[in-house]
Amino acid sequence: MATDTSKSATPMEKLWQDADDRAVTDPALVIDVSGFEGPLDLLLHLARTQKVDLQRISVLALAEQYLLFIDSARKVRIELAADYLVMAAWLAFLKSKLLIPQQVRGDDGPSGEEMAAILAFRLKRLEAMREQATMLVNRNRIGRDIFVRGAPEHIPQSSQSAFDASLYDLLSAYANLRQRQAITQVTIERRKVWSLVEARQLLTDMLGEIGDWTALQDYLLQYMPAEERVTATASAFAASLELVREGKLEMRQDGAFQPIYMRQGQKRPVAVKLTEQENDSAGG
Amino acid sequence: MQAVDDEFLTPEPDDEAGEGEPARFTLSDIDIQRTIEALVFASSEPVSEAYLADRLPRGTDVAAAMHQLAAFYAGRGVNLLRVEDRWAFRTAADLSFMIRRDETEVKKLSRAALEVLAIIAYHQPVTRAEIEEIRGVQTSKGTLDVLMEAGWVRFRGRRRSPGRPVTLGTTISFLDHFGLEELRDLPGLEELKGAGLLSGRIPPNFNIPIPSLGDDLTEDEDPITQLDLEELGLLAPSGGDE
Amino acid sequence: MQAVDDEFLTPEPDDEAGEGEPARFTLSDIDIQRTIEALVFASSEPVSEAYLADRLPRGTDVAAAMHQLAAFYAGRGVNLLRVEDRWAFRTAADLSFMIRRDETEVKKLSRAALEVLAIIAYHQPVTRAEIEEIRGVQTSKGTLDVLMEAGWVRFRGRRRSPGRPVTLGTTISFLDHFGLEELRDLPGLEELKGAGLLSGRIPPNFNIPIPSLGDDLTEDEDPITQLDLEELGLLAPSGGDE
């Protein structure tokens, strides 16, 4: 289910298509992606164009805008970081879920509405942190607004040791030393290969929020640059096997050469709960 | 409050003699205040109450003395400020413009570093993966490094959860630098907590937006135009900028 | 701020305009005092009256204000003193012993000592030869002595291998000082990388050990005896090292 990404353009897509065409046909237009701190940041910018409270944004419209943006960027061969492509795949999935009527909804995954809510929540949370950062940096700060004794007479020891060293000092000394000793002359040219770690991260990120049987490939590959599809597929497959072994992922294939469906392992929610409890108790 | 850990109470010879007696020597209130002033004034770093108690007659109510002193200095050009259980003299904030130096010595933080700092402050103890989850992007190399080097962020320990990830938190220097007595004073902390924005999970009271299934814009939406995108720098005319 | 030389007395543009006028702005007496307090406090050197006058409203009688302030602080733990023709805050003479008494001045740990300490922390139980192998240089005896003196490193036992070398490990004080609950809280490879402490290309066989848990000796360690220590000359009474 939920694999319907057919290009049957809805009227909405049509509208965007036009804009898209303009973007591509007009050589004067380029896309500046450098100013953004990742896909969520970009989404936040896009959400602001809706000029409404984040809890009331149209997630669907937002997803559309984002996908349009990614498409345009790819058409003019802007190299996009994997993060952006993963988000695109996720949003494409979300979009298809939102557009499909509710009746096919199973019990084993969040509905499109729930996924949309999660996205809105994440945007809201990021925006809140942005605001806090601004408040923080504008406080009266030592060295700018408030000053310490210019001529201190001694440094009283908070700890009882006669020696001063912080954990940071210790760790950076160690890291530097080990790195210095590990220097190798061999320099391997970096080939664009999706490492297992990258693929793992990608799968966990996406499955963490989907949770339903999904033919992830369909969404993912669509947003991979053509030359990276093979490596991305290979790594994702290897990583998925590893995740299955760890119980973090379940896989299903209905027959040879059929799409591979994946979903989050059913053990995961326990771990999440544990994390939360820990968070609460430590935070108090 | 004056009690320091026993193991650190290495009494001096004359202490031993006075053991059991109420106080080995007495100081008038003003002398206690003077001593505290001298000790705290001498240091540029906040000085702990335990450190002060160790240098004052046994039984001195250091906390009370500190609050008296803080009140005494409240209206002066130099204030006695608390940072957790430590105290420091700092110039009054309202005089900032009088003494501000030309070259600000404040570390300039990148937007990313600032954001990570805020996330660590509000969400601590927080793991790197959680920071990335909130920001939706990998933390670039050097961001945490800068914050740790500034002495504002530290490794706190490990989360008791699968994988035992290392957790990050802020330091006393962080509180001191931003003029916070304690973490509870972080601006807006309660409101954010109440709104569920400091939890990893979507809060139950968070309005689930009803996605408009149709393509029509809702009444409070305007269609996005090419112009909007340009305005946002999303589709900047080539060559024109920068 | 630290510069009080006249060449830094660059008056602001509006100063020029106000030349000859009585005052460009007014401050109450208490605010004049507060400003002086803050300026003198924050300066790293004694401050001249001219420096202060430049930062105060034109026409302020700085000399008079200084004497009032000096009188105000005369009975406090910190006095405002005239040093030659400049002013500075100084600990009251009768309390200066409080400051001096504690002059077990804090020493910064040398880079070598930090490295050795870190290796002991991560690689314990570790022998001196192993430390040297990791560092690639000989470790002077003084370095280990410093770490022992700090109370952060201890002899754990003797390795059951030829020569029965002494093994080293960290202490509880080490954990206390560095704010670690247990050794396993030390960040691992991924975390050091994530924090930007390890960067660049890291060889595939590069690993960072996870320190062993307890104080219990590992199977290839024998307990250490007093005799061992003396025999090894590790308990040399004289501190003539370094």
For the segment B192-238, what is each residue's pLDDT rounded down to a tens digit? 988 888 877 766 656 544 433 334 444 444 444 555 545 444 444 44
pLDDT, position A282: 40
Preceding peptide of A269 cis, ω within 30°: no
Give the list of residues 6+ apart from residue C183 with CB closer than 8 angstroms, or none: C121, C124, C170, C175, C211, C212, C213
Closest residue to B202, CB basis, from A118, A142, A282: A118
User: Of the candidates A149, A154, A181, which has its C-beta nearest C103's C-beta?
Assistant: A154
Q: How many residues make up chain C in this entry?
A: 242
**pLDDT over 80 at B150, yes or no:** yes
Helices (H), chain A: 11-25, 39-49, 59-75, 82-99, 112-137, 167-181, 196-210, 216-222, 229-245, 268-283
Predicted confidence at residue A191, as pLDDT, reads: 57
CA distances from B189 to A121, A282, B182, B197, C16 (A): 17, 16, 12, 10, 47
pLDDT band at C179 (very low <50, low <70, confident <90, very high): confident
Identify which has the larger pLDDT, A241 or A217: A241
Say if residues C171 and C154 touch (Cβ distance below 8 Å). Answer: yes
Contact residues on chain A for B103, CB-CB shorter than 8 A: none
What's the CA gap between C77 and B55, in Å, rounded?
Answer: 14
Do B220 and A31 make contact, defined as CB atoms within 8 angstroms?
Answer: no
Distances (CA, A) of A270 to A30, B129, B134, B200, C14: 46, 18, 21, 14, 67
- The residue among B129 and C22 whose pLDDT is bigger is B129
Chain C residues with CB under 8 Å of B92 CB are 34, 38
Residue A269's pLDDT band (boundaries 50, 70, 90)? Answer: very low
**Residue A242 identity (one-letter amino acid):** E
Most B CBs within 10 Å, among C7, C31, C95, to test the B interface: C95
pLDDT band at A272 (very low <50, low <70, confident <90, very high): very low
Residue B134's Cα: distance from chain center in Å? 20
Q: Which of A161-165, B34-38, C79-83, C108-112 has the lowest mean pLDDT?
A: A161-165
Residue A156: the pLDDT is 59
Measured CA to CA, the distance from residue B74 to residue B82 in angstroms comes to: 12
Residues C148 and C137: their CA atoms lie apart, in Å, by 20
Q: What is the pLDDT of residue C237?
A: 47
For the ranges A200-204, C18-22, C62-66, C124-128, the lowest mean pLDDT is seen at C18-22
- Rounded mean pLDDT, B14-22: 41
DSSP code for A29:
B
Is B143 or A100 the better-scoring residue by pLDDT?
Answer: B143
At residue C178, what are phi and psi to the nearest 5 degrees?
-95, 10
Q: Inter-chain contact B34–C180, Cβ cutoff 8 Å?
A: no
Rounded to the nearest angstrom, the minimum Cα separation between B196 and chain C is 27
C177 pLDDT above the threshold of 50: yes
C-alpha B71 chain-centroid distance: 23
Beta bridge partners of C91: C78
What is the 8-class DSSP label of residue C83?
A: E
Strand-strand pairing, C47-48 and C86-91: antiparallel
Return the higher-pLDDT residue of C11 and B128.
B128
- pLDDT (tens digit, 9 = 90+) per residue, A64-96? 888 988 888 777 766 777 778 888 888 888 888
How much of chain B, in percent, has pLDDT values that exceed 70?
A: 70
Closest Cα of chain A to C20: distance in Å? 30
Determine whether the interchain pair A154/C105 forms a contact, defined as Cβ–Cβ distance below 8 Å. yes
Residue C50, min C-alpha distance to chain B (Å): 15
pLDDT at C235: 55
Q: What is the pTM of this model?
A: 0.72
In sequence order, the β-bridge partners of residue C216 are none
Cα(B179)–Cα(A240) distance, rounded to whole angstroms?
48
Residue C72 pLDDT exceeds 90 = yes
From the CA of C171, how many Å to the nearest CA of chain A? 13
| Beta strands A163-164 and C107-108, pairing class | parallel
ipTM, two decimals, is 0.72
Q: How many residues are there in chain B? A: 242
Beta-bridged to residue A107, according to DSSP, are: none
For residue B108, is pLDDT > 60? yes
Q: Which of B100 and B145 is assigned the larger pLDDT?
A: B145
C191-237 pLDDT, tens digit each = 888 888 887 677 777 888 887 666 677 778 888 776 666 666 655 54
> Does residue A3 register a pLDDT over 50?
no
Tokens of residue A92, six digits: 């494409």
Vertex C40: Cα angle to C38 and C45 (nearest 5): 140
Q: Residues B76-98: pLDDT tens digits?
A: 999 999 999 999 999 999 998 88
- Mean pLDDT throughout C127-145? 89
CA–CA separation, C157 and C220 (whole Å):
10
- Six-digit token pair at A16? 């965007």
Share of chain A above pLDDT 70, in %: 64
Query: Degrees (nearest 5) of the Cα angle C170, C173, C175?
Result: 70
C-alpha span between A129 and B117 (Å, rounded)? 9
The confidence score (pLDDT) of residue A183 equals 66
d(CA A235, CA C72): 74
Mean pLDDT, residues A9-30:
36
Tens-digit pLDDT profile for residues C159-175: 888 888 889 999 999 99
Give the minimum alpha-carbon distance from B196 to chain A in angstroms, rounded to a whole number: 9
Looking at the complex, does the CB of residue C89 fall below 8 Å from at least one CB of chain B? yes
Chain C residues near residue A147 by CB distance under 8 angstroms: 1, 38, 41-42
- Mean per-residue pLDDT for A22-47? 64
Among the ranges given (A93-102, A255-264, C227-236), the one the predictor scored with the smallest mean pLDDT:
C227-236
**pLDDT at residue A70, as a whole number:** 84
Among the listed residues A211, A200, A253, A239, the one whose alpha carbon sits nearest the alpha carbon of residue A97: A211
* Dist. CA A249–CA A204, nearest whole Å: 9
The mean-pLDDT minimum among A9-13, A142-146, A224-228 falls in A9-13
Confidence of residue C28 (pLDDT cuts 50, 70, 90): confident
Mutate to test the interface with B, among C122, C191, C201 (most CBs of B within 10 A): C191
Q: Among A142, A176, A195, pick the best mutation site for testing chain B contact (most B Cβ within 10 A).
A: A142
Question: Which pLDDT band holds residue C70 (cuts at 50, 70, 90)?
Answer: very high
Which pLDDT score, from 0 to 100, does residue A210 have?
Answer: 64
Nearest to B48 by CA among B169, B176, B150: B176
* Nearest partner of B155 among C117, C106, C109, A172, judged by Cα: A172
Whether residue B155 and residue C92 make contact (CB cut-off 8 A), yes or no, is no
- What number of helices (H) and strands (E) belong to chain B? 11, 6
Strand partners for C154: C169
